[in-house]
Amino acid sequence: MWYVYLIECRNGSWYAGITNDLDARYAAHAAGKGARYTRANPPVKLLGARAFPDRSAASRAEYEIKRLPKAKKLAWLGAQSGSE
């Protein structure tokens, strides 16, 4: 399984990414070894994640969530994967 995840950063922004190991990826972000953005804006908490069957589907979903306004991102995470 692959996951699209959303992290709240210290500056109040939200960071979206994909991974096949959610715990390890969040730990990397928290340790300053994740994405460049989270090295500059350390994570405060994991807001949520949504599962996808493969990397391709997760990448398409990541593109989709990054285009949404902040107010709609949490609702998108809670939606069923089959509703796309």
**pLDDT for 28-39, tens place per residue?**
999 999 899 999
Q: Compute CA distances 24 → 65, 68, 71, 81, whole Å.
A: 21, 26, 27, 23
Q: Is residue 84 part of a domain?
A: no
Report pTM. Answer: 0.89
63, 55, 61, 59: which is closest to 82 by C-alpha? 61
Residue-wise pLDDT tens digits, 35-83: 999 999 999 999 999 999 999 999 999 999 999 999 899 899 887 554 4
Q: Is residue 52 part of a domain?
A: yes
Q: Report how many domains make up the chain.
A: 1
CATH of the domain at 34: 3.40.1440.10
**Residue 22 structural domain:** 2-79
Q: Is residue 26 part of a domain?
A: yes
